Amino acid sequence: MQVYFDNAATTALDKEVIEVMVKMLNENFGNPSSIHAHGREMKTIVEKARRSVAKLLNASPSEIFFTSGGTEADNMAIVRAIEAYNITHAISSPLEHHAVLHTLEELEKAGKIHLDLLRVDAKGNVDMAHLEELLSKNPKTFVSLMHANNELGNLTDIKKVSELCEQYGGVFHSDTVQTMGHYAHDLSDLKIDFITGAAHKFHGPKGVGFLYINSRNKIKPLIYGGAQERNMRGGTENVYGIVGLAKALEIAYEEMKEHQEYIQSLKDYMKEQLTLNIPDVKFNGEVDADKALYTVLNVSLPCTQMGDMLLFNLDIKGVSASGGSACSSGSDIGSHVLAGIGADPSRPSVRFSFCKHNTKEEIDFVVATLKEICNHK
């Protein structure tokens, strides 16, 4: 049996997404920047996708900019906003995705900002009182906090963060890559400056994402070379990817409530079965439905003798899962997120992440496999 529980890393393409992309690949090939009929047709297709994404997020189409993915979108928001507003102070958390952390750290190394990292508790929750304290002392601060942690699944109250930023004059960016397509984002209500999305996290294609820039913000491009994306991103548009992104997000919103309930039931079932079958199993981060992303369960296992070989053994037995962020795979450095919450380094941790295609039968297989590996027969 082969099972896939690494949906926080990437998801399978929806069949309807494949169909719309293949149709485009077969029938359309013009450059959206060309003024002839073939180009105008492609430009219309791109703008239709932009309007679709904007409508779902309750934003204006002029606030949506397509990118190569979440990492580029994060970089663009962080680098260009800090530059545009002459910001010299930034706040983030030690548990952010490296697309955010490394970008801010490089800006600090270059002497452009001073970076403060918020205190986090043993569950991985950011200290909101610490955030307010830092904001009150440092007007005109750039704040970057993700909506849901990609390794732990912890949810951050970004509405509260946005209110604090508005109160103290901060600029707020949130990496919403893990929650886009899984939660409804009403950007007319959420007072936020920048959010990011990546299609492959919600059953769309890889290599395409978007950056939302609130209309009150004016920043320069990160990539120069053309007038594409209303002069905000040089380079010929990935039209096929953009069409796939828009379709995938449309499907995600149509099926959101049903999938939230179903996937949460899978997560609860796995937690229950692991607790019943593996003595001393623990869970990293928050696991309550109102505090954590319903697609992620980070499991700390007692089989200390396995160490880094646990994921290898799971893979051999047909289970695809992750030890943390997929972007750290191949690195000999352990998870900065688990280190940040003080997780026991002697206990191997596995991130299981779910999607609408997973089943309880697959969970039973994973639990039995873990039981065997950890010698709890």
Domain count for the chain, please give it.
2
Report DSSP state, residue 177: T
Question: 309 with 245, same domain?
Answer: no
**d(C-alpha 72, C-alpha 94), whole Å:** 20
User: Which residue, 7, 361, 20, 59, is CA-closest to 182?
Assistant: 7
Question: 90 with 206, same domain?
Answer: yes
Question: 193 with 233, same domain?
Answer: yes
Give the pLDDT band (50/70/90) at residue 194. very high
Query: Which residue reads 């490296």 in tokens?
Result: 98
Instruction: State the CATH number of the domain containing residue 250.
Output: 3.40.640.10
pLDDT of residue 226: 94
Which of 303, 327, 355, 374 is labelled catalytic?
A: 327
**d(C-alpha 243, C-alpha 269), whole Å:** 35
The domain boundary, picked from 234, 254, 274, lies at: 254
The residues with which 89 forms a beta bridge, in sequence order, are 114
Per-residue pLDDT of 217-253, as tens digits, reads 999 999 999 999 999 999 999 999 999 999 999 999 9
The domain boundary, picked from 254, 280, 310, lies at: 254
Structure-block tokens of residue 206: 């890889």
Instruction: State the CATH number of the domain containing residue 345.
Output: 3.90.1150.10
Handedness of CA 356, 362, 368, 371 (dihedral sign): negative
Q: How many CB atoms lie within 10 A of CB 110?
A: 8
Question: 250 with 266, same domain?
Answer: no
With 90 as the cut, is the pLDDT of residue 307 above it?
Answer: no
The domain boundary, picked from 221, 254, 287, lies at: 254
Question: 320 with 272, same domain?
Answer: yes
Active site residue 165: no
Q: Which residues form the domain of 35?
A: 15-254
Cβ contact 271:370 at 8 Å? no
Question: 229 with 276, same domain?
Answer: no
Question: 192 with 83, same domain?
Answer: yes
Per-residue pLDDT of 278-304, as tens digits, reads 999 999 999 999 999 999 999 999 987
